[in-house]
């Protein structure tokens, strides 16, 4: 059985790690390079680096910061934010990224997923989907959650899989930063719908939330930010408890 992955996320703005609630009210959470080194040492399985203002500011990802962060890591490193082309991905991979995460650009031009999967391999391509419930259905949102669409989470998830994405990073905007638990029902439905790994994001607050997202949300990986940044949960303690609950993890 494949081990479940614990993935800290560094949301980057102006070169600093930040964290908010429901994608709003950002506060400083520390130096991304120091945090990356710490998480790798503590036993994180992967690290995600999201330049959260790149798309809104219509610029490329902060390559120099990606390069410096990558030097501290011996675990898989996923980078996202402002990626719009094959050339953007080539640059990030050359500077230490192992995988890339695309979001708004993929919705605006879905062929980008095919192009990247063909050029670099599906294992390198993560499609991030930010969604929230609107009148009872989950709708995709763009530009860091600021721009709503009429696109259904379920339809888009199936399409990105068919176009060659290797993983889906699903963030529930309703749960993000609340520390009230992941969107388990939506995650269970999503995992039943697609045949590629789904990373759960949004809502981690306790160790039990991680246990539940693996047991009932059926996720392959769980991503979190503030509970790790502010030392509310230590990664090694989390993994030890998951193992006690018969959830396969790498210790």
Query: Among residues 11, 51, 88, 176, which one is catalytic?
Result: 11
Which residue, chain included where needed, has tokens 């609107």?
Answer: 134
Residue 61 pLDDT: 65
pTM over 0.85: yes
**pLDDT tens digits, 101-138:** 999 999 999 999 999 999 999 999 999 999 999 998 99
CA distance 251 to 249: 6
**pLDDT tens digits, 217-249:** 999 999 998 899 889 999 999 999 999 999 999
CA distance 213 to 157: 19
Check: CB of residue 207 under 8 Å from CB of residue 234: no
What residues of the chain score a pLDDT lower than 70?
1, 19-30, 52, 54-61
Which residue, chain included where needed, has tokens 């490193």?
Answer: 77
CA distance 130 to 193: 17
Give the rounded distance of the alpha carbon of 219 from its chain centre.
Answer: 13
- Per domain, the residue ranges of the chain are 5-244
Residue 6 pLDDT: 98
Fold of 5-244: TIM Barrel (3.20.20)
Residues 6+ apart with CB under 8 A from 166: 99, 117, 121, 122, 123, 124, 125, 126, 196, 197
Residue 23 pLDDT: 47
Which residue, chain included where needed, has tokens 């949102």?
Answer: 141
Is 137 among the residues known to form the active site? Answer: no
Query: Among residues 45, 51, 130, 176, which one is catalytic?
Result: 130
Is 174 among the residues known to form the active site? Answer: no
Q: What pairing do the DSSP bridges indicate for beta strands 24-30 and 16-21?
A: antiparallel
How many angstroms separate the first and last alpha carbons of the chain? 15
């Amino acid at each position: 059985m494949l081990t479940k992955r614990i993935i800290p996320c560094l949301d980057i703005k102006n070169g600093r790690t930040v964290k908010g609630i429901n994608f709003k009210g950002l506060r400083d959470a520390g130096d991304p390079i120091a945090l990356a080194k710490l998480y790798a040492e503590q036993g994180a399985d992967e690290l995600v680096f999201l330049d959260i203002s790149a798309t809104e500011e219509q610029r490329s990802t902060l390559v120099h910061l990606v390069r410096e962060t990558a030097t501290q890591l011996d675990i898989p490193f996923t980078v996202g934010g402002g990626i719009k082309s094959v050339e953007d991905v080539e640059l990030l991979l050359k500077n230490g990224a192992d995988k890339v995460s695309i979001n708004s650009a993929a919705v605006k031009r879905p062929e980008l997923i095919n192009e990247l999967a063909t050029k670099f391999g599906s294992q390198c391509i993560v499609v991030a989907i930010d969604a929230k419930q609107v009148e009872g259905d989950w709708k995709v949102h763009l530009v860091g959650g600021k721009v709503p669409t009429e696109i259904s989470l379920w339809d888009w998830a199936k399409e990105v899989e068919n176009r060659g994405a290797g993983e889906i990073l699903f963030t529930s905007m309703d749960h993000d930063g609340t520390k009230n638990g992941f969107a388990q029902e939506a995650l269970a439905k999503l995992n039943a719908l697609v045949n590629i790994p789904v990373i759960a994001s949004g809502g981690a607050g306790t160790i039990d939330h991680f246990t539940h997202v693996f047991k009932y949300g059926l996720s392959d990986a769980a991503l979190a930010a503030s509970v790790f940044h502010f030392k509310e949960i230590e990664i090694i303690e989390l993994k030890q408890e998951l193992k006690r609950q018969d959830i396969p993890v790498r210790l």
